[in-house]
Amino acid sequence: MKTILKSKTKKVEISTDGPFTIIGEKINPTGRKKLAAALQEGNLDYVRDLAKKQIEAGADVLDVNVGMAGTDDVDYLPAIVKMLAEEFDIPLCLDSPNPKALAAALPLVQGRALVNSVNGEEKSLAAVLPIVKEYGTAVIGLTIGEGGISNDPQKRLAAAGKIIERAAQIGIPLEDIIIDPLVMTVGADSSAGLVTLTTIELVRKEFGVNINLGASNVSFGLPERDVINQAFLALAISAGATCAITDPIKYTLAIRAIDLLRGRDSYGMRYLKYYRAHAQEKTA
């Protein structure tokens, strides 16, 4: 199964058979005061810098989230998307639950974007899927049903099924839907990791679709978060995850190692190339 995203001249395939796809998470003001301030001042240089650094670090796609408390992201998303589409040749993931912001920003994308996200609630399905269809994008479907987030993997699977079915009804094909099994922190509930891993396996076996993770949530509130996040990436990829919204600066080398260990990097070329390009940073 392949989900195709495009920028001005480049094509990215998120694939169940290929190497793992990295969606850079850092253009997101949550917990980044400097970015929030820059966005509110209309200063795009900080976003430019985050885009550049993530691309250099191995991001295949850039997530763009400009949601800030007390603001409406329709006021920020179009300008940021326009700048990124003009200045960088990498597909974008428009991260907003707000249909107005999506509809205002999608015409400014050059290529084929990923919309993040729809979920299994009627309100979200009715608002977001028509926009996805109109602009011919791919979409991330969060496994949330009418009852909210369930701890039962079967209920998360059912939410995925509902999204896939409703998308099919308006002509959005299976390959354009990437299911997100939801990742909660094991710091609050020590069964949370297992619930996500089980959901990934169920979704993979039932639908065979691409599967995304917001991988860094899992360690929230715990010490040595990088150790946990890195372990979780490997476990989730083993279960069937094919892309993640994550930090390419911290985790690309580990992801290259995982691809190599799973036989998805002939002669270790990608691992070694990445290591050589970034080795001096570690010793510097």
Pick between residue 88 and residue 251 the one whose CB is nearest to a copy of itself.
251
Which single residue is written with the structure tokens 């109109």? 134
Considering only 49, 272, 273, 277, the residue that binds a copy of itself (CB under 8 A) is: 272
- Asked if 40 touches a copy of itself (CB under 8 A), the answer is no
Which span (2-10, 52-60, 86-94, 231-239) binds a copy of itself, by CB under 8 A? 231-239
Compute the distance between CA of residue 36 and CA of residue 25 in angstroms, rounded to an integer: 15
Q: Residue 217 has what DSSP assignment?
A: G
- Asked if 230 touches a copy of itself (CB under 8 A), the answer is yes
Which span (18-26, 62-70, 203-211, 221-229) binds a copy of itself, by CB under 8 A? 221-229
Best CA proximity match to 164, nearest among 208, 214, 114: 208
- Asked if 149 touches a copy of itself (CB under 8 A), the answer is no
**Burial class of residue 152 (count of CB atoms within 10 Å of its CB; 0-12, 13-18, 19+):** exposed
- Asked if 253 touches a copy of itself (CB under 8 A), the answer is yes
What Rg value do the Cα atoms of the chain yield, rounded?
Answer: 18
182-201 residues near a copy of itself, rule: CB under 8 A: 186-187, 190-191, 193-195, 197
- Asked if 244 touches a copy of itself (CB under 8 A), the answer is no
- Asked if 254 touches a copy of itself (CB under 8 A), the answer is yes
Which single residue is written with the structure tokens 């099919």? 168
What backbone phi and psi angles, to 5 degrees, belong to 212?
Answer: -110, 150
- Asked if 16 touches a copy of itself (CB under 8 A), the answer is no
CA distances from 259 to 41, 122, 173, 267 (A): 41, 37, 27, 11
Pick between residue 83 and residue 149 the one whose CB is nearest to a copy of itself.
149
